Amino acid sequence: MYDDIKHWVEMDNPLLIPSAPHTIPYQEESLIKFLNTIQFKSVLDVGASTGRIAQLIFNNFDVETYHGVDLSIQRLQCAKSVTEKYKGVGVGPDIEFYGCSYYDFRPEQKYDLVIATEVLMHIPPPKLETFFGKMVKESKNHVISLDYYPIPFKAIPNLADHNFLHRYPDLYIKNGFHRCQEIRVSDLQSMFHGQKE
């Protein structure tokens, strides 16, 4: 049986190649375009990995706080390295990365934006509600997830044991968002956004 925490701890490889590297430019382009339509100064990156999203945000937006959490200590070392140049001397953004399970992460603040890129697709259905509910609770305003989402929504044969199909629009509505905005990223991926009122 798949154990999400055990699986990703065992996969602790900073050079792990994404399963669909050809989608990265589309993800980044869609994310930058969308983030330009909202206001945020603090970010929680759930599944921060090597800091790809952190770099993208720092290269395009003025952020005061950026916290990332990931199970992989090795990947977070990469994230710390690539974001070091964004730290000011005495002033500048508060950048911290935490190596732990998101279930165990206990932030001392809420964030304008909570983002998870290709994370929720790896959360087993029985744990999804708790995981996503925690993201919503830790957000002051915006929650974004970017994940595998085929259109039409249908079961995919031979899906790897660590990948799951979730109905993200339903998940957002169930967790208190009046609407879930979907932005198509590629033929198999969408970005989902919920904003608190």
Tell me, yes or no, whether 144 lies in a domain. yes
d(CA 190, CA 126): 22
Q: Does 27 fall in a domain?
A: no
Q: Tens-of-pLDDT digits for all 197 residues of the chain? A: 666 666 555 665 555 545 555 667 888 999 999 999 999 999 999 999 989 999 999 999 999 999 999 998 888 998 999 899 888 755 568 999 999 999 999 999 999 999 999 999 999 999 999 999 999 999 999 999 999 888 777 767 677 778 888 999 999 999 999 999 999 998 888 999 999 97
Peptide bond into 152 cis (omega under 30): yes
Residue 149 covered by a domain = yes
Domain count, the chain: 1
In a domain, 24, yes or no: no
Give domain status of residue 21, yes or no: no
pTM, to two decimals: 0.89
Which domain covers residue 103, as residue numbers?
Answer: 4-10+43-195
**Contact present, 130 and 174 (Cβ < 8 Å):** no
d(CA 98, CA 94) in angstroms, rounded, equals: 13
33 within a domain of the structure (yes/no)? no
The CATH number linked to 54 is 3.40.50.150
Q: Is 90 left (phi over 0), alpha (psi -120 to 50) or beta?
A: left
Q: Which two tokens stand for residue 128?
A: 């999804």
Helices (H), the chain: 4-10, 24-35, 52-60, 73-83, 125-137, 168-174
